[in-house]
Structure 1
Amino acid sequence: MGARDVLMEDKGSCSVKNQVNQAKMEENDHEDVQIWSKADAVQLLHGVPLPKNCYRVSIDVVVEESAPLPFPIANECEVVGDALGTHVSWPQHLIVEQDKKPQKKYLAPPKERHDVSPGVPMSLHMMYCYSKHALGKGRFISLRLDREVFDDDCVILLHYEDIDGLYHVGPISSNCVIAYIWYLYKKMLGDNKEGKFRFVNPHRISDMGETTHDKKRKLERLNQRASALADRLSSASVDQLVLAPCNIGYHWILTVIQPYKDVIYVLDSLSHRIRVDDWKHVVEISLVLTGGEDRR
């Protein structure tokens, strides 16, 4: 039987004649065996009954002569090379008819993977994976901050959308900023550095969508923001830095104030300068309320 008459697999194959059907041998545990053959379903082999569920196979071509036979013939054939040109027993389950396609093995769908995005801390990645599975259908994480963080009672509710925006570097909510402030405060406690900084609650000083259509209402809100900032400035000690994260309208900036040294730093991640007249007004009014001079 020639090579062009045989349907070949990656590994070797073996063809079988079962009545009128052509068949081939599947890849088996003897991965080094690659043979072509013919077989029939007679019940005797060398005068001995075939083993159960086996075919009589004639071996025509051998690739790996030292491969052991599934059913060796005592004192005659122990390996495939010994059986060249003769007949041996071959397990039926290792033979597939050529007019039938081999049944494909079922492959379970791959499990969803959560690869860590470049630059994302593992702790944030773990929080993201947890929230993705646990914070559905309106569920949330409730966090009660230490009163010392803002000198006030503060409880925030973190939803999946909050964590998703932080993880994928999207819009960041005030709740995420507050949760991070709480984390920083805990770190400072461990390092005995909490006395060097004073945090301002961004909920109380951020732009809440004031519109110019109602100038009176806008001015009232600006003054409320200035009063909240002034409360934190007035309670700061001489050596403390006041950290005031503020959303000025779809963008976060950080203002660092040294109230006793007439110094104000505005940290903005945007490379271009943007007009923040409302926030400038809030800071200036807060300094006036605390009795300080105008500062830049």
Structure 2
Amino acid sequence: MMASNEDHPHGDETVGGAEREIKRGITVMKKVIRDRDRGVLIKVHWNEGGQLIEPNGSTLTSFIGALVRNEVPITCDNWRNKQLNEAKDKIWSEIKRCFDIEENRRDHCLKLAGKLLRGFRTFLSTTFLRDTEGTFVDAELPSKYASLISPKEWETFKSKRKTQEFKSVSETNRQRASSPAYPYRKGRVGYGRLEQSILTKENSSETSLPAHVLWKEARVGKDGKIKEDVQQIFEKCETLSQSIVPYEDTDCRSILSRALDVPEYSGRVRGKGFGITQKSLNIKKQKTPSNKELQQTLEALKAEVLELRKERERDRAAGFKDTSDKDSINCNFQPTIPEGISPCHLYLARPTYRMVGKGKVHNNLGELLHTKPLPTGSLKVSVDIALEKDALLPHPDDVSDATLLGDAIGSFVAWPTDLIIVGYETPTKSKAKDKGIAREIESVASQKEIPVAKKTEISKRTGAKKKNPSKYRACLHTYLFKRQIFRMDVVGVINTYMRYLYDKLMGPRGLEQRFSFLNPMKTNLTEMIRKPDEVRTYVVERFMADTDREKLFFLPFNTGDGGHWLLVAINPFKEIVYYLDSLHIDWTTYPAMKTIVDTIIQTVRAQRKIQVPKRKANNITWNRVECPRQRNNIDCGYYTLRFMKETLLMDRTDIPSDYFDEYRCAYYSKDQLDEIKEELCQFIIELQVL
């Protein structure tokens, strides 16, 4: 009598391993078929490298696997065989019927189909044609796959796996796969979806991760532990990424391949997964997501500002407190700090109540200071300007060991809430008898604040004219008023932030005598090639206007046609050019730029009547600065802006070859880049041009 399946849990499996029980059924993708029949196309998403991601990335992958198992016989060993063209066309046609997908994704989908077919053949061989010791078993066609595989195909498939040639190749591959040095530990997730999950979890604005970072994350187990050998490779990659100079590098291998000491294979990018090639990584993006994101942010801020203006009009009848008398100030007053990031004045109450600096207060729920909770009754503040550099900090910074306000410029500190006054002060300027130099900014306690709306009304009644911006133009010498701020393209962003740097850093600190800006609209690569004489004339005039003192000129340089941004800082007095490129590309890539800059410096030298020997006529110093390096292809503009800001904060007309110690890092964090974006948005709102 035959034993029942109840007596043998694996009743369909013979002792020889001919057919083993597979509990999971054949993938048929019923939901996809139902959507297709209703005329609903499923939207597919891709990352910037061209890999399938969620939502619906795994759905399309499973659907392609089901299609290729139905349309292509398992006896097919060469996916490039032209006889498969008809089957491939049918697979693509079915994909288009069910998914909203672009035509240029055809190659990726068909390559994925070939990969899945190979995986299916390997699964059949491993599951049904080998026993537990790896010995070949002459098994019958599994009943589960009878609808996909004909008996003739199965016999042909088995016969190919009996050949000595196949056994030799199979054994080699099996041994290699059985003991990998650094095993992948993320199952069927794949690099693309793994990268997506990491970026989503970290709430990052980045669009991709470096290959070695992703490689390390792919080898972290469920327990979250990283093996020592994996960590060593990762650290080696980090070291290599900082030491390699691209234009001197002759090794074509990636950083990860060098750290692993393995050859680089064509057609793949190590540590990135299926679908990523060097070509896909080098495709130049036509749009800049960061600018689009900024535009959306500005639109939201515009609506918020309009609402605040309405609220301000309603509250105007309440009047404004006169703070001109210091004695009338209540030192125990608890100001209302708005949520988010706001410009502010910083006060101290001892030995006298006075304003000692300016900065920005960060009033966010759960805000931490250097990963630690804030002291009770205090908020996180970034210090921008110190009016009393020797003033003691209310809460000394344990991380940087800063105890004086002057030491905390450019960093975050804790500040008592009752000593923070929100809002920028209106500077009061007067001319000295002999020089038109603005006097130091007075404390807000000695001035009377007038709302913007009232100032406008007063101007209308008295016929007052706007302040002459000639001094500002002399320093910035570009067009940064409403018509250009409304142009929120990349150049508009660069120009607007340069005005922010002048208003908030250069002006208050008196740095306009040591630093200046050149207009990027007049000095980009396109202009240098098309109108070299006009570019030379413009820059020479700017340099000759300041020949009596050493000055550093910032030139945010664009490679043309909305391309890459980098910073060229020129000291014409010392004939030194500092080159800061966040992609670490050499200046020789842009010969037109270098030629024009050299010619300009030589022209200025001649106009200053400086005599140099002929052998030193071209002896202009170009310093390539090892600045922080960007990790994607969209943040170059924000890196350029931060380079200018940090140079101003250091108040140095020379930039070290390895960058400033205070700001040296491998790359800028999301918070550091967000700080630039927030400052830009706040400044646009303050100008009230929205």
Please give the range of the TM-score, normalised by the shorter of the 2 chains. Answer: 0.3 to 0.5
Larger fraction in helix: 2
- TM-score, normalised on structure 2? 0.20
- TM-score, normalised on structure 1? 0.43
Q: Point out the structure with max Rg over C-alpha.
A: 1
More relative contact order in 1 or in 2 (CA 8 Å, sep 6+)?
1
Larger fraction in strand: 1
